[in-house]
Structure 1
Amino acid sequence: MSGSIDGRLVNRADLAGIFGVSVNTVTNWIEKGCPYVERGSNGVEWQFDTAAVIDWKIQRAVENVAMSAGDEGGKDSSKARREDADCRRAVANAIVAEIDADEALKAVVSRHDVVADMATFCQVLRTGLSNMASKVAGRAATMTSAPEIEAMAKAEMNRAFTAAREEIAQRWFAGRDPDHDAGGADRNPPAG
């Protein structure tokens, strides 16, 4: 395959998931020279470029095949192992291409984007619920019945949830045609 493949940045757990191995296996890869973008430390996650890791894995597989071929000296065995390495390379390239296609079709979202959006959602919700407490406290003093206080508290709580839902909907669906339905994959959240 000609040209370079653009990878994406992932942490150790995501890298382990992509390759179908354990996090301990990824740690062993690091000890054996697996390339990384940022070394993990307290409070900082490891960052890996998937394309660089795939290239590294392919190179190691080719080197292992070459060493095995040199040890055995058999042409048939060497050819079979070379074909096996080429097959693994093709599978790795197909995985990267599938990830790229999913990203281009917007069928997947970045974990970092979702974390940021959910943090904003929680912050808006927290602000709304904090405001609810002060509003309820101020108004409840003038009310005489428990059902009246409960109804007011529910209304304020619903207002906080609605504000948070609208904030996340604005982030996720901003600039889209409301009638756009990409196969049913993306839809505005239900009201209520």
Structure 2
Amino acid sequence: MSIVNKKGFAEICGVDPRTIGNWIDEGMPVQGGGGRGRAVEIETKKAIDWLIVREISRKYGDEESEGSGGRKGTDEDRALKRVRREEISFRLELKRKQAAPVDGFMDLALRIASVYASQLDGLSSRTCSDLAAMDDPAEIRAYLHGETRQIRASTAEQLVDEIQKLAKESDELIALSDSGRGESAAIEDSE
């Protein structure tokens, strides 16, 4: 999270600081400031997200403005525009690596925990009889070190497999999304 003043945000966007003032008047979120002698504080992520949504709404229309005297579209047109806005917004977030598929991360975390748990659960049963026969601490240490190395190697292999499975599932979802987008483009072309 980066906080800048109007001038700093104007430099980031490549516009005049007065334009930033206009955007604030239009509703761009600010963090604070703006009082007597206090510079306006702008959180760059929130402000950029606001600009993206604003531009998408301008390009594809806003449902509220369509119904209020402007070019009236059918319900289907408005639904298509809404879906396009959502898709573009999501794709922009993915491109900027700010959107995280939370379900995917939760699934990966559960898979990691499962792999580690299964490896650690077997450690005591595999090593207890061998350790009972050992008296030398250095020998015990070396033995346990070897076992933990084996667990790390085995776990790493299993984690790579799980990550590859998750990546494949993610690619399949993206392919489904892309094929749905192709169908909506075909429908638009036929109209």
Could you state the TM-score of these two structures normalised by the residue count of structure 2? 0.38
Q: Which is higher, the Rg of structure 1 or of structure 2?
A: 2
